[in-house]
Structure 1
């Protein structure tokens, strides 16, 4: 176990070192305001299409955001094998006969890798029978972080407390109401400079830690690729009017769309939209290996067929070229 943890530390240390060097080079190449190129990341919708935008207006309140935010050089790091090895050693897992990428333990533990998605999932039987309901939620979240840091201590991860899932024995450890819960699933996502990172268009959690009523680990799942970050500079956030202008210039994507009636979703052309609120998030652009701020607008719109849609539109919160 100690050797594996050391390997994980070395892997992340190498990533950080590479990112620091990359950041230094970028700062030397661009001593002034950092320039960011337009890539397909900016315009690819949640369903892998692209949209054109017509009469778009923001009708919400003026938001309160920082004047400037950091831009991060970003690198993917495949550490799946090291974490899997650590889990296999800790829980004494052995390969399941005649089945690839599944391991079992002496006390019912099960570890599996989904080859199609790269998702790794561990399930552990609770050490003691579950009898009493869930107790201190805040303490259980702290316990989940303790388990998280056993394997992912160097990642800027934060509990997504708005997406907690309460679990119960009577439904096979499925979702239940709080007062019937005997366990808790805590999803973790990246947070940079105080703002969330949407790693992909689904916004899925990077790591999910499950604990029982005593804070003991009962499940762990994570993606096969993790990210390392190093700040390479700051950029001034553009104002909302400029962001809306960029949407009209088709420098935006549809992050979510739901028709108000039971019709198929058509988002090729958003002819009009009334955007009622805006939030701030980071997004990773693999085309230029940078992570930088975006605005996410929510509101209603109309497509070229006249269908009414509830939608979210995402556009860079900083100037791009």
Structure 2
């Protein structure tokens, strides 16, 4: 009887897989492109360097259910959305078909932490509090591109994870099953999945895990290294005032970044790092500053070295180098500032 139940569960999984492959797997709107297991293609199509959320700056054990992190609101569906160390995840007894439980875990793609709905225990189902790994992501503001590393407890080629992407107007942009790799031995694995739209209109993404059985150790999934991009909808202006100061190691120029979305809304609360092409030759009042309610971050810079310095800045909150620069000429002492 147990063998028959196992066979029926396996047949059911294959039927579900076939149905999803035949009935889905295509874009429902010509304006989006999907990059399954193609990170290089995603990065090229997304254009601007993406904002990265890799969960490594969040303490292990933190439940981020129904919280917002760097523009993404994480909505819990069943199991709590817990950040854990990947090496702490494990497969307990209760599954059939286990070859090596030590290999059935969630492996991080960057750093140590991953997002594992239900926590470190990758238990058999049905058990919504542990293996109910579905998640809903809300983007505010909407993004043009989104991608992530899909983590499998057992990379056996059978996903049964369905993803749906919606616009701000509620239109379905894409709906399909996420493909995963097949690793010999069925150990845990990771597969990139991403989507890029023609405009910044991706508002909501639902990732639904439909595998909830106990036959094989593959009914748990996790997430790592979220990537999102607003495309051309980020507007950064970088200036230096004045643009020429004496190199007396006292007189300073003020560097100001004005950071807004394309609709003019200020981007507040971002940590901006300022850098000089001349390294330690130039001294900042502070190497970082936080954007205020107007989306502005400012520092001053002085130098005792004559020459032209090119200054750039980086959004440390998002992990993005901004495509802006400003120059200051440090002149011999006695020359007037402009």
TM-score range, shorter chain: under 0.3
- Report the structure, 1 or 2, having the larger helix content: 1
Specify the structure having the higher radius of gyration (Cα). Answer: 2
TM-score normalized by structure 2? 0.24
